[in-house]
Amino acid sequence: MDFKDVEKKEEESVLEKKEIVEKDFWRQKYHIQGIVGLINDPNGFSQFKGKYHMFYQWNPLGTIHKNKTWAHSVSDDLLHWERLGTALRPDTWYSKDGVYSGSAIVDDGKLYLFYTGNVKDCGGNRESYQCLAVSSDGENFERWEPSIVNQPDGYTRHIRDPKIWKKDGKFYAVIGIQSEDLEGKAVLYSSENIKDWKFEGEIAGANHGKLKDFGFMWECPDYFQLKDEKTGEIKDLLVFSPQGLEPEGDLYNNKYQTGYLFGKLDYEKPEFEISSDFVEIDRGHDFYAPQSMEDDKGRRIIVGWMGVPEEEDFPTVKNEWIHCLTLPRELKVINGRLYQLPIKEMESIRGEKIEFNEKVAGEVKVGTGTTYELKTKFSNFNSDFGLKLRTGKNSETVLKFDYNDKKFVLDRTKGEQPDKRLRKVYLGNISELELTVFVDNSSVEVFINSGQEVFSSRIFPEKGADGISVFANENASVKIEKWEWK
């Protein structure tokens, strides 16, 4: 495609497909999704002039991974998003085959986007450019010529997804990269003026330091610090999406993963000194390439793509769209452990409430709904128990505690989602289980025991599948509060 036609093609595609997309009952209510076509990674998540900005990878022309642009939405509350015009299109020589992922920073009253321009020639040779675009109004972006051209020595041209921050007057970026030995790594760059960048070195990677075989490529790295709310200690986190990990029991069962390491970034060496194991940030079927930002309330908020590359045989494709982002979550460290909590704003969309407080033996219907929040507390149990959501003739999503295995299980076998395997996490000996669940038209996000574990999965129930029930094989005390979303 001639890159000058990109905007016209986008308009035509939207016009042609919008109506079909809008009729789909799987369209989400409170999740960012493309108006047509495919979306993937969140990009440039930031706050500028009083508004939250979310950009995201968007192919306006179809439901495959091509023609990547940066779609752009703004919000006052992280839940109601207004779509603005496409911020970046593949209409420059250095991004002609895709404006790939990246991040944003506000500096000197301007919003800067730092992203990867992707170029592929007919022979499949790749060029990668790390580029800036700058805006004074948060809506129109002036694009600068590439700042970083291709890769440093010893690496392949798989270098992308810069995440930028500023420390002591200097800019830094961590970038995902592949070594010539075909191993995934993260490298650090620095800049005095945001335009000219210097390669500092490799800070982490597969077969680098503590991590042995750890994938052939690391995508979308993110680096930030959190203060432990109990001990006051400052913790550094490196979040990344490694590709190529093999499943190990309940771990790494999606095609590609996302997780984090605790450690300490030594800028001088440079090195991310790892002090923990790699932990998957989400245990569900659909979570990848998240991005975080700190807002003006001092919260570290993270949003992921509710999807995984190459696991995309979704039934919405026939309706000309695929994928959405997760709901925003707040990250906290408490006593050395990472928690993910629903943002406070979630309470503002609570509508009609029902409550349930009973001893359950067997299965009991507690209500109906397709878009809602549910808070549950289970206690006094001595066998399997849980919830069944979006139940209908051929659909149900089961959230259950497997009493013998001491595992929480998400079961979406009944429905139109392609991957029917279970997802599980070990919780150990517990005497209570608390769940906060957000159900949208085609997704479920489950926060377990104050956000110690989270599961995000897309679900595709049949039309009208809206039953909610609670079950216990023998006995359980159950408290439920459910709010229909406004």
Judged by the rule CB under 6 A, the positions of this chain that interact with ligand FRU are 40-41, 57, 68, 100-101, 116, 160-161, 219-220, 288-289, 309
Q: Residue 298, Cα to own-chain centre: how many angstroms?
A: 20
Q: How far is the CB of 101 from ligand FRU (least distance, A)?
A: 3
DSSP state of 314: -
Q: How far is the CB of 160 from ligand FRU (least distance, A)?
A: 5
* Rounded Cα distance, 296 and 358, in Å: 42
* Rounded Cα distance, 400 and 444, in Å: 14
Closest CA to 98 of 85, 122, 114, 115: 115
CB 385 within 8 A of CB 399: no
Break the chain down into helix, strand, coil percent, rounded to 5: 5, 55, 35
User: Count of alpha carbons within 13 Å of 427, Cβ hemisphere only?
Assistant: 26
CB 227 within 8 A of CB 336: no
Nearer to ligand FRU, 57 or 130 (CB): 57
41 in catalytic set: yes
**Cα distances (Å, whole numbers) of residue 302 to 74, 181, 289, 423:** 16, 32, 10, 22
Q: How far is the CB of 57 from ligand FRU (least distance, A)?
A: 4
Strand partners, 482: 354, 374
Burial 447-474 (b: 16+ CB within 10 A, else e): bbeebebbbbbbbbbeeebbbbbbbbbe
Nearer to ligand FRU, 15 or 182 (CB): 182
* Rounded Cα distance, 187 and 200, in Å: 7
Closest CA to 455 of 475, 438, 479: 438
Q: How far is the CB of 218 from ligand FRU (least distance, A)?
A: 9
Structure tokens at 237: 């986190």
Q: How far is the CB of 73 from ligand FRU (least distance, A)?
A: 17
What are the DSSP calls for 57-126, one per residue? EEETT-SSS-S-EEEEEEESSSSSEEEEEEEE-S-SGGGTT-EEEEEEEEETTEEEEEEEEEEE-TT--E
Of the residues 2, 5, 24, 41, only one is catalytic, namely 41
Q: How far is the CB of 219 from ligand FRU (least distance, A)?
A: 4
* Rounded Cα distance, 343 and 436, in Å: 12
DSSP state of 245: P
Nearer to ligand FRU, 309 or 367 (CB): 309
Q: How far is the CB of 254 from ligand FRU (least distance, A)?
A: 12
Nearer to ligand FRU, 92 or 101 (CB): 101
Q: How far is the CB of 68 from ligand FRU (least distance, A)?
A: 5
Nearer to ligand FRU, 288 or 339 (CB): 288
Contacts of 248 (CB under 8 A, 6+ apart): none
Q: How far is the CB of 307 from ligand FRU (least distance, A)?
A: 8
CB 220 within 8 A of CB 249: no
Task: Give the type of residue at 248.
Answer: E
Q: What is the dihedral of CA 357, 359, 365, 371, to 10 degrees?
A: 40
Just list the catalytic residues: 41
